A and B are shown apart, each in its own frame.
Chain A
Amino acid sequence: MNFAGSQLEAVLADVRRGMIPAHVYGDPQIFALERDRLFARSWVFLAHESEIPDPGDYVVRRVLADSFIVARDESGAVRVMFNMCLHRGMQVCRAEMGNASHFRCPYHAWTYRNDGSLTGLPFHAEAYGGEDGFPREGQSLLPAPAMGIHNGLIFISLDPGAPPLPEYLGDFAFYLDFYTRQSPAGVELRGPQRWRVKANWKIGAENFAGDSYHTPHTHASVVDIGLFREPKASKRKEGALYVAGPGVGTTYKLPPGGDFASQLRYVGYPDAMIPAMAASWSAGQRALIADSGFMVSAATLFPNLSLVHNWPQIDERGTVAPFISLRQWQPVSERETEVLSWFAVDAAAPEAFKRDSYKAYLMCFGSSGMFEQDDVENWVSITEMAAGSMARRLRLNSRMGLTSAGQPIKPPLATFAGPGVAYQGFGEFNQRHWLRQWSDHLEDPR
């Protein structure tokens, strides 16, 4: 690393005071540090259990350049294995999904069971002298150094010393449930849509983390066309922003005077789903909706998993249907990101609801979504601007919500039922929290 320590220190000091050196959104040296110090250590989302429901089901996913097979083995356990053959390093599985009891390497046909164990080795006796020369016992594709599952969400860390996943998720688990545990059946994921954008991966992560400020302008067009029942863009400033453990998110303020069921009905959940939501969520989770009057919307779990919940009108009659999407900002380089965007829906929801919710998702987010279209245009442009020399002289002001002395311009919400700290109105508290975690990783040479 030829990025001098003092240079990095200066960058991180600026980031921590909310003045972000613009080049971090297009700098190959920063990207190398992100690879080595952030993605090599952090918990990273790979897949959801619903994508591999049956024994033998698998998907292939990456953490940057590292390919992993995420499989359900014959005993029903989830396995995450580095997709590189033990013999000469061929990529063992080159499909991105399917069902297989075994994976056979295309090069010399070493064969692995779907739990990763090496079972087949051609000419074992002649080439290796059998078990004596090469004992197959105990040989297996390299397992992910650490793996954890929460609400069916499968995460791995490349750091075997990573804290246990529940400890890492901490207070953010409270908020994850709104997206991924609306009933005991849990959520099912469809997709992902995948596409590559010429944008730095951090920009999307920060946007979903807390940029309610962009909605009135960037997304003016979806309001213009009446995709929402109310002029939602300006409503954005009544929402609360929360910081909770490794996650941060945004909410919408619900209409005054509602109770738990009426508020869920208001955002389009059918009566058939509401009892399961009431039973599935804690008193505190119910109170966030019923008493505090907030409904979760966009959020980001550090580093690169974002979630979104919104409720457009999906037909001429004005039917309101909520949808959930999970999306991953998979870095390709400092100037390119692969977006993986899943549609998520409660597995126990009525089929008619699933259909409506899917339609709502496609209209709003994903590769063709009308929100996402304008978001990406902005992010590509920032990345282009960040690549030059002048960006090294510019510090982007990310201090919204703070006085010049560094105090919040208004106090945190006293009556917010969720864990963590919440502020009502616009602010960049969430992006700064996300960037602080980013800075902590980048400065740690370990």
Chain B
Amino acid sequence: MTARPLPYGDPAHQAAHQFLVEEAALLDAADYSGWLDLLCEDIRYLMPVRVTTARGAGFDSLADMGHFDEDMYALRKRVQRLATDHAWTEDPPSRTRHFVTNVRTFRNEPGARAEFLVESAVLLFRSRGDTREADLVSAGRADLLRETGAGLRLARREITVDEAVLRTQNLAVFL
């Protein structure tokens, strides 16, 4: 990214930051239908597989393989599933905390529709059961937030996870 981020006092940055914090609160409350309401109908939700490559290789994630590569249909199905009485992996539910930080907001091409590129870091703490060791998932996120009549909505998210081998039993969680 070549452009400078918006100053922290910029109302657009503050709105974007607040969006991410409120989104995290919904996820930690497992209010997934509330979370879906924050997404654009044309959402692309992507989490490429990271890999360990030599410094000169020119890539450190797989172009054609993700942990997630979701559209609205797929995300709705995931959320519907978690709402059934049979989603055993989250019953009892995980206790999660999404720590969102390092937020930088960029104006998307001046003159284009009212969209912002927002980069952030997320650290997910996930605890299951009473005695299991908790999991941590660290990732960077590059989001496209779109201004709509109803407020900001997420149009695209690319999650850059910081591990090649995930240390959590599944991704029955969102980042």
Contact = CB atoms under 8 A, between A and B. Distances in A.
A198 B169 contact: yes
A190 B65 contact: yes
B171 A198 contact: no
A190 to B, nearest CB: 5
B102 interface: no
Residue in B62, B65, B71, B84 whose Cβ sees the most chain A Cβ within 10 Å: B65
Contacts of A221: 81, 84, 86-88
Nearest to B55: A95
B57 A377 contact: no
Nearest to A191: B65
B171 A368 contact: yes
Interface stretch (A114-122, A161-169, A359-367): A359-367
Nearest to B173: A368
B167 A362 contact: no
Interface residues of B, number: 38
A195 B165 contact: yes
Nearest to A225: B80
Interface string B93-114: 0000000000000000000000
Given A97-B53, A193-B67, A225-B80, A367 B171 contact: yes
Interface of B: 47, 49, 51-54, 57, 62, 64-71, 73-74, 77-78, 80-81, 84-89, 132, 164-172
Given A96-B53, A225-B80, A374-B88, A196 B165 contact: yes
Contacts of A367: 67, 166, 170-171
Given A193-B67, A195-B168, A380-B132, 17 more contacts: A96-B52, A97-B53, A190-B64, A193-B65, A194-B49, A194-B164, A194-B166, A217-B86, A221-B81, A314-B73, A358-B69, A367-B166, A368-B68, A374-B86, A374-B88, A374-B89, A376-B169
A227 B84 CA distance: 13
A97 B80 CA distance: 37
Given A362-B66, A374-B89, A196 B49 contact: no
Interface of A: 94-100, 190-199, 217-218, 220-222, 224-225, 227, 314-316, 338, 343, 358-359, 362-363, 366-370, 372-374, 376-378, 380, 384
Given A191-B65, A193-B65, A198 B132 contact: yes
Contacts of B68: 362, 368
B165 A194 contact: yes
A338 B168 CA distance: 11
Contact of B172 (A194, A195, A373): A373
Given A315-B73, A368-B67, A224 B81 contact: yes
B67 A196 contact: no
Most central of A343, A363, A372 by chain B CB within 10 Å: A363
B87 A363 contact: no
Nearest to B70: A362
Please provide the 3 A-B residue pairs with the shortest distance between their CB atoms, ordered closest to farther: A368-B171, A195-B166, A220-B86
B52 A94 contact: yes
14 contacts: A96-B52, A192-B65, A194-B165, A195-B167, A197-B170, A217-B86, A221-B88, A225-B81, A359-B74, A363-B77, A368-B47, A368-B68, A368-B172, A373-B171
A358 B67 CA distance: 11
Query: Which of B64, B70, B88: most chain A CB closer than 10 A?
Result: B88
A190 B62 contact: yes
